Chain A
Amino acid sequence: MSDNSNQLESLWQKQQTSAPDLTLLKKTWRSVKIKQKLYLLSDVFAFSVGPLILFWFYSSLSPYQIFFVIITLFISAGFTIYLIWLRRFSFLGDHSATGDYLELLKSQYRQNIKIAQASKYSAYIIPLIFVSFLFGGYWFEIFELEKLAQKALWLALASIVSLPMLWIWADKRAKRFEQELARLEELV
């Protein structure tokens, strides 16, 4: 066993190796830092749109519209907290013991599948929110019929363009994570 071990080690150490490209590494590192800052900025911006609308347009919004913005804020806050909870495993580092890291990675993939499925379902929930908004506007006679029809048209157009794309993108992501999880489980 010891001779075998020495032979294997000797062969292992004799294999040809290559070096990382340090110039490319520095470039990649700069790009990673910029992306991280941009993601953070976009998260902050996405969260602040609702409060900013309330702050700037408060006097020109009807009580119904204010109510709807607040409800939407609560729903998106809840959804964001849920996503952060699902992403909890990705905050833990690469420096875990390798056995733990494997389990962590599998958990991360399972959560990513749930996140992608949640994004898919949001493609159904968003139109419901729009319809509720319009129906409430009609029921409580907040908007004139002509304006209501205009809003309905714009929301319908926006939904027809963006929601199928959201659903397809989220569906592809869910499938990709399922394949990656399956591959990892095969190799473990």
Chain B
Amino acid sequence: MSKDFEATLKEYSPVLSRVASSYEADLHLRQELLQEISLAVWQALVKFKGDSSLKTYILRIAHNRAVNHVAYRVKQLNSESYCEVTSPLPSNKISSEQNTIQDRQIETLLHGVRQLSIQNRQVVTMSMEGLSYQEIATVCGLTTTNVGAILNRAKKELAEKVQNVG
């Protein structure tokens, strides 16, 4: 693995981790998904032609790979040995009521995102990663009008859920 690829993966690992969390609630499977996504991104980086921003390109690869995982997961759901661990990773932060409310809001937001249809999930999470309407439209194969409509509806629902926490 060249140093460039390693540096790129390190730079974008938080983004990839957030993509994984939007598709997978179980912590162990989420880490597996993150590995799969990282491998897909690494394989795809050699083909990057610069016709979009690197972030947009990486998000497209990451979401496409995550969709494979979601379909494949039906195997785990049917398995008796499967057990879901959804508690967040242990935090080193000093616990305070604010942090607890914030943690619950984050969990509620993640849960709400995972309830969305795949397309809406992709649009909303890309928006929260800072992509413009045009960039989201290009990545998802939609018009900017569609993107706006999806975001208005979905963000309103998510905001209501989050505000009901704490």
Number of A interface residues at 8 Å Cβ cutoff, please give it.
Answer: 45
Q: A97 with B162: in contact, given A4-B155, A180-B71, A184-B70 (CB under 8 Å)?
A: no
Check if A95 sits within 8 Å of B155, measured CB to CB. no
Give Cα A127 to B166, complex, Å: 68
Would you give the shortest CB distance from A103 to chain B, in whole angstroms? 9
Interface residues of B in 35-90 (CB under 8 A from A): 35, 37-40, 42-44, 47, 57, 60-61, 63-65, 67-68, 70-75, 78, 88-89
- List B contacts of A17 (CB < 8 A): 13-14, 17-18, 21
- List B contacts of A180 (CB < 8 A): 71-72, 74-75
Interface string of A24-44 (1 = CB under 8 A from B): 111011001000000000000
- List B contacts of A182 (CB < 8 A): 74
- Judged by a CB distance under 8 angstroms, whether B138 is at the interface is yes
- List B contacts of A1 (CB < 8 A): 152, 155-156
Interface residues of B in 94-123 (CB under 8 A from A): 102, 105-106, 109-110, 117-119, 122
Among A12, A99, A180, A184, chain B packs the most CB atoms within 10 A around the CB of A12
Total of A-B residue pairs, C-beta within 8 Å: 150
How would you classify the secondary structure of chain A's contact residues: helix, strand, loop or mixed? helix
Check if A99 sits within 8 Å of B75, measured CB to CB. no
Check if B40 sits within 8 Å of A97, measured CB to CB. no
Question: On chain B, which size bracket covers the interface?
Answer: 35 or more
Q: A98 with B138: in contact, given A11-B105, A109-B71 (CB under 8 Å)?
A: no
Check if B57 sits within 8 Å of A18, measured CB to CB. no
Check if A93 sits within 8 Å of B47, measured CB to CB. yes
- List B contacts of A8 (CB < 8 A): 109, 128, 155, 158-159, 162
- Judged by a CB distance under 8 angstroms, whether A60 is at the interface is no
Within the complex, which residue of B34, B64, B71 is in contact with A98, where a contact is CB–CB below 8 Å?
B64
- List A contacts of B30 (CB < 8 A): 18
Check if B102 sits within 8 Å of A25, measured CB to CB. no
Would you give the shortest CB distance from A173 to chain B, in whole angstroms? 12
- List B contacts of A18 (CB < 8 A): 13, 17, 30-31, 34, 89
Counting from the closest, the 10 A-B pairs by CB-CB distance are A99-B141, A97-B141, A17-B17, A4-B159, A20-B38, A12-B128, A184-B71, A17-B14, A183-B74, A180-B71
- Give 6 A-B contacts (CB < 8 Å), ordered by A residue: A98-B119, A98-B141, A99-B140, A99-B141, A176-B75, A187-B70
